Amino acid sequence: MIQSFTIIEAKQKIAAGEITSKALTEACLERIKKQNGALNAFIQISETALKEAESIDVKRAAGGQELGVLAGIPIAVKANMLAKGLKATAGSRILENYVAPYDATVVERLRAAGAIILGVTNMDEFAMGSSTETSHFGQTHNPWNQTKVPGGSSGGSAAAVAADFVPGAFGSDTGGSIRQPASLCGVVGLKPTYGRVSRYGLMAMASSLDQIGPFARTVEDAALLLQVVEGDDPKDATTVAGGDTTVAELISEDVAGLRIGLPKEYFLEGMDERIRTSVFQAVEVLQQGGADVHEISLPHAEYALAAYYIIMPCESSSNLGRFDGMRYGYAASSGRTLMETYERSRGEGFGSEVKRRIMLGSYALSKGYYDAYYKKALQVRMLIRRDFDEVFKHVDAILTPTSPSVAWNIGEKFDDPLTMYLSDIYTISANLAAIPAMSLPCGFVDGLPVGLQLMGRPFGEETLFRLGKHYQTKTDWHTKRPEKNV
């Protein structure tokens, strides 16, 4: 099945003339046609994908033109990223028929590299969720077991890669929304350093936390995707010049001498012992490769979840103020006054989880509560960041589980927001500290994937790739596919 190739494998086979871009794209589209009805990973498929693939094949056959590093490779993007001509709904009714008028910087760079934007993937509404159950377009199912959630909010992208719909995809990560679904779906997911990848054209959730990143089947593929989209962008003032240093082909798999920290706060009682076992087996693999592993402490980690669920709703409530039913998106037709139209448009257009977070954020920002909640949360965030700064004086990377559990049943946590929020307990700190973090497969529990999380210094993605590449050369978890292992 050619749609099962990794990005690097597909590139090599296309270059060698063994397959064409059109054949690869057709295989992906055929698989989506057969299985997306059951998984609901894609919201929309591009109608021009095959023509784009044929065009690349023609250019390759003619020769004389330098093609991009992703020429002819199908890639999917999350529904909160603008891809000109495709719907950009953010999984919400309020944007149900909104068509992107321009490309996000990430999409622009993918197209410039020759990638084919195959379609947009499902997500929790406005990225607010950890299970891809809050989408207006229906829930996404986990390819390993369709009664389970794929994680969220980028569950559609993770499921699309796990199900061999596409060899690579992009999501956004505000508190774990790339890494957690990558863990639950058994693929690689990277949240880059804040500022390494432009957010221009991404629908903002929490602007100081959001970051776009790739899903792939291997660490090398994830590095290649980062290489294409990273770098300074004049359209996003938070991007950092000089951050574009990834060269996927030059990643070493030698981990001898690398210092890895295991934070004791992440390995307390309550974790599934089978997940603990999988993670420590991964530690042994890295130790056998020469890595130095020892216990560390992140003393303010216990406050990360509380700080996040103040900062994120505050920024979200501010960002979502632009969706008023006046300029674009859904508008209620029965309002007698302007204020009533606002209220009804938002009341009917937003789902329950979005409304919950808007109300939490608006309350925390209101007069008399700003200092007690938002300001205090920002102070805690600084303490968390200082913890990481101190630890990284002594270690090169931090290793933890990605998720405290494997994928759970659809509906199991849907009506219990606190329990749902706890599913991000291991991933949130990286966003608060603005550091890179990656999840990769490291085992199975009850036939469902377990994820290993690696966190690094700001702009230290190369170290994460190095550790991940070594681990994947010594194990085969990343080669498993749902149809072979359910």
Helix (H), strand (E), coil (C) string for 212-238: EEEEECCHHHHHHHHHHHECCECCECC
With tokens 């056959």, the residue in question is 61
Number of domains comprising the chain: 1
Element (H or E) spanning 354, and its range? helix 352-365
For residue 153, give the DSSP letter.
Answer: S
pLDDT in tens, 61-96: 998 788 999 999 999 999 999 999 999 999 999 999
Distance of alpha carbon 77 from its chain centroid, rounded?
10
State percent of the chain over pLDDT 70: 99
CA–CA separation, 273 and 319 (whole Å): 40
* pLDDT at position 485 over 50: no
Structural domain includes residue 222? yes
* pLDDT at position 458 over 60: yes
Taking the CA atoms of residue 104, residue 89, residue 3 and residue 113 in that order, the dihedral angle to the nearest 10 degrees is -10
Residue 183 domain boundaries? 2-257
Q: So which residues are the catalytic ones?
A: 78, 153, 177
Output the pLDDT for position 302.
93
Whole-prediction pTM value? 0.96
Structural domain includes residue 405? no
Output the pLDDT for position 330.
87
CA–CA separation, 474 and 459 (whole Å): 26
Measured CA angle at 65 (ends 64, 67), to 5 deg: 140
Q: How many C-alpha atoms does 326 have within 13 Å on its Cβ side?
A: 10
Pairing outcome for strands 437-445 and 448-456:
antiparallel
pLDDT in tens, 127-153: 999 999 999 999 999 999 999 999 999
Structural domain includes residue 271? no
CATH of the domain at 147: 3.90.1300.10
Label residue 486 by pLDDT band (50, 70, 90). Answer: very low
pLDDT in tens, 199-246: 999 999 999 999 999 999 999 999 999 999 999 999 999 999 865 567
Task: Check residue 203 and give left, alpha or beta (phi > 0: left; psi -120 to 50: alpha).
Answer: beta
Structural domain includes residue 236? yes
Structural domain includes residue 300? no
Output the pLDDT for position 243.
56
Q: Which two tokens stand for residue 43?
A: 């919201």
**String of b and e for 137-157 (b: at least 16 CB within 10 Å)?**
bebbbbbbbeebbbbbbbbbb
CA–CA separation, 131 and 151 (whole Å): 4
Question: If you average pLDDT over every residue of the chain, what do you get?
Answer: 95
Structural domain includes residue 13? yes
Output the pLDDT for position 148.
98
* pLDDT at position 438 over 50: yes
Closest Cα partner for 404 from 305, 484, 309, 477?
305
13 compared with 324, residue with greater pLDDT:
13
Strand-pairing partners, residue 148, are: 409
State mean pLDDT over 287-292. 98
